[in-house]
Structure 1
């Protein structure tokens, strides 16, 4: 089976041009499947083998299980199309995985204020203005400001280039999933200033590499570094929940929705291909629901 897996991954990388993140997930899922079955001849895999593997997958969260099954379906459909197998065992297996409805975690305005306050305080407390520590603090502020002001994905932030930033730092052009581009205005003065300061601090390296966020080695900032950065300031702000860059994204969307921004605009800002994905924020908008009913409830207009 290892040969067929390599063949499939080559097809996904070269012909379908899938991202490295997707390729890594495919490889992980397929290697796990191979280790479980331990079969040399892929054509001998039966629906009973699939059912046995699916039984093992139930220990995972429903979303993880759904992804792993989707990987296998794509893999076997590819092998069937390439005529590497005569019969696709998935044609004889019915699978229905019910996803848990997980409401996205968000930050309150006070929590966001606290995180930013600690990031700015850290910068002001550094006396050596020509030290890397000071430049790093400036970069960290720019990262946090951009996460909050745009709802950008962490992978999109790390791949952001200087050429994607408009004149006077008033817009950014984001290359999202499926190589879809979207432009987002930068309207907040503090966010613009943070981006300008980051560019001034790392100008030579940014101009040479073109990447806008740089680490101490002159390389593009990694997604893991951003996650650790966010966690660091969340802890400084005494927030004990697990705060990730994606929580900033959820907060951005939810706070816009609470301010009556049309969900179609939010869909564009987030780069969602389907409005159905964006709709999940309607379920977390409890604050808005309460406010609306407090003011608009028909019972308020009944005298008795």
Structure 2
């Protein structure tokens, strides 16, 4: 069996047995294609794999390298599990990375407030069609910030995944992992109820909760373009992406004293290490508070002379 057929079987296994999402499958497909285009062998050995890893370090950033190696490693684990290979070369390959702390970009609270206020001010009930789409866009942005969900999770929410009575939403995250998020704000829940009421016909036909003007799923790219439009119209110069709402959601919760393990569960992170990055961002805010508001700043204490 050549590598093309083996990769096809592996991706089928990932899709139907492991139930991985389409984005993960796409990344695996690209990474494995690049690996075999470089190695030109059906089952490359340790030496070829190490050459490939060296080549990755010449071309890509650390995060991308990690993902591409992980894709190939997962494939070899599959080959070993299916007894296509007896000796997995990855057991003898050690790759070390320097851990870089890249702080997530967040949206200042005042800009979130500015954006939402602008969007709410655009309500126009006289135009029925425009009002339906305005409700949808408000609902999407409010849901992004209320849940900290990824944009593809929002885009793929099914109608039967939303309970408008309790405010409970079922999300499908990375690797097809399911989690539930509570919409705790009655105001946001009212927005979702009104949106559903105005768009129920299209929602029921498509099966998706958020729909576009053709009654189909409101795609990730459409959400990004919608956010870009409103950000510009609201007079905000900063480029705001949907994922920045996720970063902001997590950072502001931690600033308010929410335990990091609780934030991890809400975000759907498999490892708490991923969530701990937000502690670094929240610490910057803590430093500002202590610098500006610590009571010692207002005490009359003699200056230290070195």
Is the shorter-chain TM-score for this pair beyond 0.5, marking a shared fold? Answer: yes
Aligned position for 1:249: 246
* DSSP 3-state at the match of 1:182: strand
Aligned position for 1:281: 278
Instruction: Give me the whole-angstrom Cα distance separating, in 2, the residues matched to 1:197 and 1:24.
Output: 36
Q: Is the 8 A contact 1:172 1:186 kept in 2?
A: no
Offset of residue 186 of structure 1: 2.6
Q: Is the 8 A contact 2:170 2:178 kept in 1?
A: no
Aligned position for 2:266: 269
How many equivalent pairs are there? 297
Offset of residue 21 of structure 1: 1.7
Matched ranges for 1:98-247 at <5 A: 98-124=98-124, 128-131=126-129, 133-168=130-165, 170-177=167-174, 178-189=176-187, 191-247=188-244
Flag structure 2 segments of 5+ consecutive residues without an equivalent: none
Matched ranges for 1:57-96 at <5 A: 57-58=56-57, 59-96=59-96
Offset of residue 100 of structure 1: 2.5
Bigger mean CA offset, 13-22 vs 280-289: 13-22
Instruction: Give me the whole-angstrom Cα distance separating, in 2, the residues matched to 1:240 and 1:38.
Output: 48
* DSSP 3-state at the match of 2:181: strand
Aligned position for 2:19: 17
Offset of residue 239 of structure 1: 3.8
Q: Is the 8 A contact 2:164 2:193 kept in 1?
A: no
Q: From 279, 288, 305, give the equivalent of 1:290.
A: 288
Bigger mean CA offset, 57-66 vs 191-200: 191-200
Offset of residue 246 of structure 1: 1.0
Offset of residue 279 of structure 1: 1.4
Matched ranges for 1:39-58 at <5 A: 39=41, 41-42=42-43, 45-58=44-57
Instruction: Give me the whole-angstrom Cα distance separating, in 2, the residues matched to 1:297 and 1:36.
Output: 62
* DSSP 3-state at the match of 1:269: helix
Instruction: Give me the whole-angstrom Cα distance separating, in 2, the residues matched to 1:63 and 1:302.
Output: 50
* DSSP 3-state at the match of 2:122: helix
* DSSP 3-state at the match of 2:103: coil
Instruction: Give me the whole-angstrom Cα distance separating, in 2, the residues matched to 1:117 and 1:218.
Output: 27
TM-score by length of 2: 0.86
The RMSD of aligned alpha carbons is: 2.5
TM-score by length of 1: 0.87
Flag structure 1 segments of 5+ consecutive residues without an equivalent: none
